[in-house]
Amino acid sequence: MMKRIINLKIALIAILASTLFSSCLKKDLPGYPAFSDADITLANLEYRYKIANPVAGKDSIVAYVKLTNVSHVIDAANGTINITLDIPSATPTFSGQERTKVSLNRLWPYFNISTAATMQGINGTANPGNVTDCSKPLQYEITAANGQKKVWKINIAPLPVLPPVNNYEANYTSNGYFYHPSSPRAMTNVVKTLVTSGTNGVLVDLGDLGTSGYRALITINPDNTLTITGAPGAAGTPYLMFTSGLPDGYTAAWAGSASCNNTYDPATKTFKVRYGYGAAGAYRVTEEVLKRN
């Protein structure tokens, strides 16, 4: 009998707590009208592909890259969006070879739409978030919270034609040293993506300064010597080559220094570089051995 009384008390307390909590939630909350907006305010597209799983024996990982919206013109009155896209530069996980596979025929669109609205593809367009053929106009129906509907048409311009990938573009592992007047430092097992620039050229981050806009253009000459200059728009230009050795006042700080004579070894697919920028007595010099992965 006592057990039944205790259980009954617990049940009554639970009901009372639920009622109080519900009342607190509802108290003084304003009532909102059903939204009537049925707009698309932003359209993005991404490309998905597979990369190797770093864990041995595991399945590949699906990676993605967001395409750049060069132009994104919304005409809300007529329900149209005209988009021009660009393909991002290659990275250690988004190779030049993979970059050439990006096609309007196989992209994944996603959107920002009006508050509380819903969206679906119509007239043969897949629903958002699914692989979609974007080479033809896309049509979506937006349903506002109040049930009002609006059809949108999205037109995507052809993608830019990418230059062919040359034989030097790939991911490389860099080891070396960055000689800096106030912050000298070693560079150990840094993965870099060398990106095609013409038939015999590649673009590469200078030392470990790539995120700061320091980027070099390395041209491989017929005799496998290198010509190194600043990439178009790079910070710190002009860049200087130090082929015969480090500038005066600098002492080798790592074991591979002597091999950095601005040459390319086709047998091992290895770049051995020494170059930098600045003025005498305050040069910033990178020595690197970049070996293809």
Show the tokens assigned to 178: 């960055």
pLDDT tens sequence across 244-258: 999 999 999 999 999
Q: Does domain 40-156 have CATH number 3.30.2350.10?
A: no
Residue by residue, DSSP assigns 165-177 as P-TT-EEEEEEEE
pLDDT tens-digit map of 181-197: 999 999 999 999 999 99
Report pLDDT for 32.
Answer: 60
pLDDT value of residue 89: 85
> Kindly report the CA angle at 275 between 176 and 272, in degrees rounded to 5?
50
CATH of domain 170-292: 2.40.128.420
Tell whether the model's pLDDT for residue 141 goes beyond 50.
yes
Question: Please, are residues 37 and 114 in contact by the beta-carbon 8 Å criterion?
Answer: yes
Preceding omega of 238 cis (within 30 degrees of 0): yes
Q: What whole-number distance in Å separates Cα of residue 157 and Cα of residue 179?
A: 46
pLDDT tens across 208-217, in order? 998 899 999 9
With a CB cutoff of 8 Å and minimum separation 6, the contacts of 56 are none
Average pLDDT, the chain: 90
Quick check: helix, strand or coil at residue 131?
coil
Neighbouring CB atoms inside 10 A of 128's CB total: 18
> What is the tens place of the pLDDT at every residue in 255-280?
999 999 999 999 999 999 999 999 99
Where along the chain do its domains lie? 40-156, 170-292
Q: What is the pLDDT of residue 114?
A: 96
Q: How high is the pLDDT of residue 29? A: 62
What confidence score (pLDDT) does residue 91 get?
82
In 3-state terms, what secondary structure has residue 5? helix
What would the pLDDT profile of 13-29 be if each residue is shown by its tens digit?
A: 444 444 444 444 455 66
Report the run of H or E that residue 4 belongs to, with start and end: helix 2-26
Mean per-residue pLDDT, 118-135: 97
DSSP annotation of 211 = G
Confidence at residue 183, expressed as pLDDT on a 0 to 100 scale: 95
pLDDT digits (tens, 9 = 90+) for 37-72: 999 999 999 999 998 887 888 888 999 999 999 999
Global confidence as pTM: 0.71
Residue 202 reports pLDDT greater than 90: yes
Higher pLDDT, 28 or 232: 232
DSSP for 124-140 reads TPPPTTS-B-TTS-EEE
- Rounded-to-integer distance, Cα 128 and Cα 139, Å: 11
